[in-house]
Amino acid sequence: MVLSQVGRSSGDAKNIDVTLIEFDDSGRKLGPAVRKKVVRSDGDWRRQLTTAQYWSARRGSTDTPFTGSYYHLETAGLFRCVCCGNALFSSSTKFDSGTGWPSFNAPVAAGNIGTRADNSLSIERVEVLCQLCDAHLGHVFDDGPPPTGLRYCINESALRFVQ
């Protein structure tokens, strides 16, 4: 599995350009765009997000499985970052992993997410982050279905679904 290292936002990150692939809300690819890294103070994130969104996306906590609605959602649409609106996953790559979290076998565009090693538990995992704002999204595992063999296990609190 390839890791593209990303770091948590800091004051210096405000001037970092990020190249993403943009999508409209219907999921139509618009093409590459260069945007400034989204950096906000902790207080600003707390005001913008619900408590669950804040703790999941900004503090790296994990949603309780089988408590949301996205893990069993079968509606066509696009999943965006709850913090910055970056396009992350398409319903076309979503599958039922049986874990109770929304699971995808690929991001909508590889450059829209980043990954890094997560050693916070007794096993090494690969953390998935939003490339635009460094929001914690969840983790990726190598036990997913074809064609990628990957399972992006994503916290619902870090996502906003649009169709």
**CATH number, position 146:** 2.170.150.20
Question: Is residue 88 one of the residues assigned to a domain?
Answer: yes
The answer to whether 136 and 129 have CB atoms below 8 angstroms apart is yes
Instruction: List residues bridging with 22 in a β-sheet.
Output: 31
What does pTM read for this prediction?
A: 0.90
Distance of CA 151 to the CA centre of its chain: 13
Q: In terms of DSSP bridges, do strands 17-23 and 29-36 run parallel, antiparallel, or are they unpaired?
A: antiparallel
DSSP annotation of 133: T
Question: Is residue 1 one of the residues assigned to a domain?
Answer: no
Question: Is residue 5 one of the residues assigned to a domain?
Answer: no
Residues 62-104: tens digit of each pLDDT: 999 999 999 999 999 999 999 999 999 999 999 999 999 999 9
Question: Is residue 94 one of the residues assigned to a domain?
Answer: yes
**Confidence at residue 4, expressed as pLDDT on a 0 to 100 scale:** 42
* Residue 96 belongs to domain spanning: 11-162
Question: Is residue 91 one of the residues assigned to a domain?
Answer: yes
Catalytic residue at 153? yes
Mean pLDDT for the stretch of residues 147-163: 97
How far apart CA 102 and CA 104 sit, in angstroms, is 7
Task: Catalytic residue, from 84, 130, 133, 153: name it.
Answer: 153
Residue type, 72: H
